[in-house]
Amino acid sequence: MDLQLKDRTVLVTGGSSGIGLATVELLLAERANVVACARDLGRLESALAPFGGGERLAAIACDVRDTAQVEALLAAARERFGGLDGLVNNAGGSRMKPRSEVTLNDWRDELDLKFSSVLNTVTAALPLLRQSPAAAIVNINAVLARQPDPRLITTSAARAGLLNLSKSLSIELAAEGIRVNSVALGLVDTGQWRRRYDESGVAGTYADWEAEIAADRGIGLGRFGRAEEVAAMIAMLLSARSSYVTGATIDVDGGVGRYV
């Protein structure tokens, strides 16, 4: 299926690894123009090098928590490609800490990364998105927004705030033709899980460890998700093929979500 993304310009935050990197790869395959950002430019450029994006790809260093840096990022996107049609707010990971170990600064940091950063990018991107005939925003969220885990209390709370913000933005921006949707993740096989396995010191293989965690967390499909599986949903929500979809939250979680 042609997703009608050819020559559309999409900004992907957190583009140097995991879901962000897989999304960049898929968008380039769809012949979109992609602006990828991450805090570490060297790491970002190294990760993107195999894709050979050429004139369709721009790699820019940006800390999405910093308003000035985000404004400079959007200015660079406009200078390079002339506008913006899509925004994927992907930056951020999980903070594995129970409430008893969380500090006030942990709360502030988590909300800054997962909530304020989205406000930064959306605010800076809106002037360009308003000029697009098919503007779309996709916020990467998690099932934790609706199904909190006490082991990830700060992440759960921040994700719930982002879910509410995403719905509010979808209502506000619908009249301008800007669609806003969310992708809610379960457990996805990214660098974070690989690092946790390496640090765990378990004797079994990664596959055995993955299956054990999947069973413990009640993942119906019995495994972690893959970054490319999430990227496919992101691309669909960016696409004009989803032109009547806004305010939605699509779970890509292997069946771990238990809410209705």
CATH of the domain at 149: 3.40.50.720
What is the rounded average pLDDT of the residues 149-156?
Answer: 90
Tell whether the model's pLDDT for residue 200 goes beyond 90.
no
- How large is the average pLDDT for residues 78-88? 98
Its domain, for residue 66, covers: 9-187+225-252
Q: What is the pLDDT of residue 194?
A: 86
Q: Do 51 and 29 touch, CB atoms closer than 8 A?
A: no
The average pLDDT across 109-132 equals: 95
| 140 assigned to some structural domain | yes
The region of weakest confidence among 46-60, 100-114, 215-229 is: 100-114
Same domain, 146 and 219: no
Percent of the chain with pLDDT over 70: 98
Indicate if 202 and 109 belong to the same structural domain.
no
Tokens coding 190: 């990214």
* pTM, 2 dp: 0.95
146 and 196 inside one domain: no
Domain shared by 20 and 31, yes or no: yes
Per-residue pLDDT reduced to its tens digit, 161-176: 999 999 999 999 999 9
Q: Do 33 and 157 have their domain in common?
A: yes
CB burial of 97-122 (b: ≥16 within 10 Å; e: otherwise) equals: beeeeeeeeeeeebbbbbbbbbbbbb
Say what the pLDDT of residue 233 is: 98
37 with 61: CB under 8 angstroms?
A: yes
Looking at residue 191, its pLDDT comes to 77
- Residue 92: the pLDDT is 74
Query: What value does the mean pLDDT of the chain take?
Result: 94
Query: Can you say how many angstroms the Cα of residue 13 is from the centroid of all Cα atoms in its chain?
Result: 7
**pLDDT-based confidence at residue 220 (cuts at 50, 70, 90):** very high
In the chain, the number of structural domains is: 2
pLDDT score, position 53: 73
pLDDT for the residue 41:
96
Residue 260 lies in a domain: no
Residue 256 binned pLDDT confidence (cut-offs 50, 70, 90): very high
Residues 93 and 197 in one domain: no
> Tell me: the pLDDT tens digits for 87-116?
999 987 666 677 777 788 888 988 998 999
**Amino acid found at 118:** V
